[in-house]
């Protein structure tokens, strides 16, 4: 049955990587893969001799247990993994909701007002700097969407905009790597008690900054970024509510790690508090801006919070559910733990993590990090966890399909796989290894 489970994982993952060829959204094979893997675990339960206790991080010998005890162990393990996975998903839903509420009030228009320059190189530094900072606050996926949306209003030339989008991907992934809320993988490590927020920032801020600066600096010498651009005039006013909601929303997201540090509660609790506060102000401001004479008819269907919730990327949430629970099935059988022990015995740890980062450009970094969390048994804030966070977070920039930021840019600007490979991948590779060198020197 183990062969069936591993084969299901491989085939399911292959289907995810070629989703554009199959014309099937990646969430579909992810969910099917998850269900089949856990079904395989259930059907083959009596034949398994070992079981990985995720709560205590140790391998158990269950060959002496009867069927009832094994079934009880399966139920507890499934509940444990589902609970941990839902912590991450609820956290992401909360963050997405706040961002959508900010956008509902046109809060990001304030950021667009900052961009005044017509010099291509200066604009590149501005958008990459914004991408690096914003991705650490609102995650790399959302930061990419915001900046490309702004670029569409600033740069009419599609080819030039593709170049900017390519560098934004690098900057956003680098910015997300050093923040506990900047990337799904760093959020996983943070919520899994592998890293703490302050130590993660202190160890990865400089390597991530180098990873962003080096490619951006090299790109300023390319012919495409020479000269000036024709910026379109924007007469849209930024209301006081737009600026207020931008500051409130970003401030409440930044408040989440502070709340966790003070209360020691899981991050999703703080995120739900932040969503509640932002939603409260959103509803108050909405009632002031719009007529509420017919409010009893629509039952708040046109409120800011309702609209924000309706625009959340639920396919991405379900995809993460499928991936994380599939890896949990492999982990429960001890397969990942055993593989990790063999890797540690035959390959230098640093080399393995570097290869993991390169692999994240081909395979989604979420399952790679989920798998690595079961491979290594190091203590919290050990260097291995920070190295994994950097490698998985920035390595995906080398291919456009290697990160969520790349995939969304690919869809928004219709960037082809081979155009990115030819124009941007080498820059991302240089930045990746520059950051690795910086991290190893500082460590």
Q: Which has more confidence, 289 or 407?
A: 407
Which pLDDT belongs to residue 231? 61
Residue 433, class by beta-carbon neighbours within 10 Å (0-12 exposed, 13-18 middle, 19+ buried)? Answer: middle
Task: Tell me phi and psi for residue 6, to 5 degrees.
Answer: -65, -40
Residue whose C-alpha is closest to residue 171's, from 414, 388, 431, 359: 431
Residue 91 has pLDDT above 90, yes or no: no
Interior angle at CA 273, CA 270 and CA 275, nearest 5: 110
Where are the domains positioned within the chain?
90-442
Residue 430 pLDDT grade (very low, low, confident, very high; cuts 50, 70, 90): very high
Q: What percent of the chain has a predicted confidence (pLDDT) above 70?
A: 90
The model's pTM: 0.74
Which pLDDT belongs to residue 385?
Answer: 92
pLDDT confidence bin for 316, thresholds 50/70/90: confident
Give the Cα separation of 186 and 176 in Å (integer): 8
Portion of the chain with pLDDT greater than 90, in percent: 24
What is the pLDDT at residue 297? 47
Maximum average pLDDT range among 18-27, 35-44, 194-203, 211-220: 211-220
Q: What is the pLDDT of residues 368-383, one digit of tens each?
A: 787 777 777 788 888 8
Residue 233: its pLDDT value, please? 59
Higher-pLDDT residue of 309, 385: 385
Cβ partners under 8 Å of residue 401, min gap 6 = 17, 361, 362, 407, 410, 417
- pLDDT per residue as tens digits for the range 26-61: 789 889 999 999 999 888 888 888 887 776 667 787
pLDDT, tens digit, 9 for 90 and up, residues 120-172: 898 999 999 999 998 888 778 778 888 887 888 788 888 889 999 999 999 99
Mean predicted lDDT score pLDDT of the chain: 83
Note the pLDDT tens digit of each residue in 272-313. 999 999 999 998 887 765 544 444 445 555 577 778 888 777
């Amino acid at each position: 049955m183990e062969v069936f489970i591993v084969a299901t994982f491989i085939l399911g993952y292959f289907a995810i990587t070629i989703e554009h060829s199959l014309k099937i959204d990646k969430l579909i094979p992810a969910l099917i893969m998850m269900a089949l893997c856990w079904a395989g675990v259930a059907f083959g339960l009596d034949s398994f001799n070992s079981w990985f206790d995720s709560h205590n991080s140790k391998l158990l010998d269950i060959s002496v247990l009867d069927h009832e005890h094994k079934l009880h162990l399966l139920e507890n393990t499934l509940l444990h993994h589902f609970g941990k996975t839902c912590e991450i998903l609820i956290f992401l839903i909360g963050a997405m909701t706040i961002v959508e509420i900010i956008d509902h009030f046109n809060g990001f228009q304030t950021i667009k007002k900052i961009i005044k320059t017509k010099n291509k190189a200066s604009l590149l530094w501005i958008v990459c700097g914004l991408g690096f900072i914003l991705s650490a606050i609102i995650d790399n996926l959302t930061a990419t969407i915001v900046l490309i949306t702004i670029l569409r209003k600033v740069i009419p030339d599609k080819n030039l905009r593709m170049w900017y989008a390519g560098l934004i991907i690098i900057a956003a992934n680098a910015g997300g790597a050093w923040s506990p809320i900047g990337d799904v993988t760093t959020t996983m490590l943070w919520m899994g008690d592998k890293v703490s927020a302050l130590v993660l920032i202190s160890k990865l801020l400089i390597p991530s900054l180098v990873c962003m600066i080096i490619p951006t600096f090299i790109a300023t010498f390319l012919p495409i970024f020479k000269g000036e651009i024709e910026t379109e005039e924007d007469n849209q006013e930024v209301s006081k509510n737009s600026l207020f909601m931008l500051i409130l929303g970003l401030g409440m997201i930044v408040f989440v790690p502070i709340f966790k540090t003070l209360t020691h509660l899981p991050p999703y609790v703080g995120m739900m508090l932040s969503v509640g506060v932002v939603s409260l102000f959103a509803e108050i401001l909405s009632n002031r801006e719009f007529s509420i004479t017919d409010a009893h008819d629509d039952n708040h269907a046109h409120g800011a919070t309702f609209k924000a919730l309706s625009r959340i990327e639920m396919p991405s949430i379900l995809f993460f559910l499928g991936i994380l629970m599939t890896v949990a099935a492999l982990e429960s059988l001890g397969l990942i733990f055993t593989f990790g022990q063999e890797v540690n015995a035959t390959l230098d740890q640093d080399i393995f993590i570097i290869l993991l980062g390169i692999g994240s450009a081909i395979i989604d970094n979420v399952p790679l990090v989920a798998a690595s969390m079961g491979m290594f048994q190091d203590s919290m804030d050990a260097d291995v966890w920070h190295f994994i966070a950097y490698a998985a977070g920035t390595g995906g920039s080398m291919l456009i399909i290697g990160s969520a930021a790349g995939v969304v840019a690919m869809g928004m600007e219709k960037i082809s796989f081979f155009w990115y490979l030819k124009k941007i991948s080498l820059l991302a590779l240089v930045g990746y290894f520059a950051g690795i060198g910086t991290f190893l020197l500082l460590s």
